[in-house]
């Protein structure tokens, strides 16, 4: 096996754990332990995170960034840091138990814990491509980051709902932010 295959296997395990965590939590929400109140923005946001995780893994595979990993620093930057951030986001995104949880109140209460790591990921991704041509995804990423900061500062429910929808649209339209 080459170094690239080892790195790909390592990333596949990490991303697989993150995706399985999301799917398990969705199952609990729908079948086993439904929350007291569902909230559409919570579902939109979790779907956006799920699609972003899948997209990041697939794009890393397609772009073949593994050939540039030549030392431990670049391995940490490309191979460990993004899945670690996604793991943190996913563990903050879902409550430990859904029973008697109002997802609207939960999302508003923990919005900073969820959005800040996402903003860190977006900004670090933009820094990776600093100096290159600004494309549609980069512009969307900057707009989402700026709007995320506003959502954290202002405690408005409608802003969080708009952020969730814009985030999902940015992931779908702009791809890898």
Residue that the structure tokens 């996913």 belong to? 90
Its domain, for residue 154, covers 3-174
d(CA 112, CA 116): 6
DSSP secondary structure code for residue 83 in this structure: H
pLDDT in tens, 114-150: 888 888 887 777 776 665 556 666 667 777 778 888 8
Residue 64's pLDDT is what?
58
Higher pLDDT, 118 or 19: 19
22 three-class SS:
helix
Query: In total, how many domains does the chain have?
Result: 1
- Contact between 44 and 165 (Cβ < 8 Å): yes
DSSP of 93-135? HS-S--TT-BHHHHHHHTHHHHHHHHHHHHHHHHHHTTTS---
- Which pTM value belongs to this model? 0.82
From the centroid of its chain, how far is CA 170?
12
Measured in residues, the chain has a length of 177
**Cα–Cα–Cα angle for 82, 92, 108, rounded to 5 degrees:** 125
Residue 60's pLDDT is what?
63
Residue 34 has pLDDT above 80, yes or no: no
Residue 19's pLDDT is what?
92
């Amino acid at each position: 096996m080459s170094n690239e295959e080892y790195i790909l296997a390592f990333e596949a395990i990490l991303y697989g754990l993150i995706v399985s965590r999301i799917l398990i939590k969705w199952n609990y929400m729908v079948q086993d332990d439904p929350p007291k109140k569902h909230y559409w923005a919570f579902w939109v946001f979790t779907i956006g995170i799920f699609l972003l995780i899948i997209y990041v893994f697939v794009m890393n595979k397609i772009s073949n960034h593994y050939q540039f990993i030549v030392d431990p620093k670049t391995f940490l930057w490309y191979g460990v840091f993004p899945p670690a951030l996604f793991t943190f986001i996913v563990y903050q995104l879902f409550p430990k138990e859904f029973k008697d949880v109002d997802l609207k109140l939960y999302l508003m209460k923990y919005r900073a814990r969820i959005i800040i790591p996402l903003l860190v990921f977006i900004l670090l991704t933009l820094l990776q491509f600093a100096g290159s041509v600004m494309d549609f995804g980069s512009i969307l990423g900057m707009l989402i980051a700026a709007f995320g900061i506003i959502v954290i500062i202002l405690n408005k429910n409608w802003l969080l709902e708009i952020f969730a929808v814009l985030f999902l649209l940015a992931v779908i339209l702009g791809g890898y932010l």
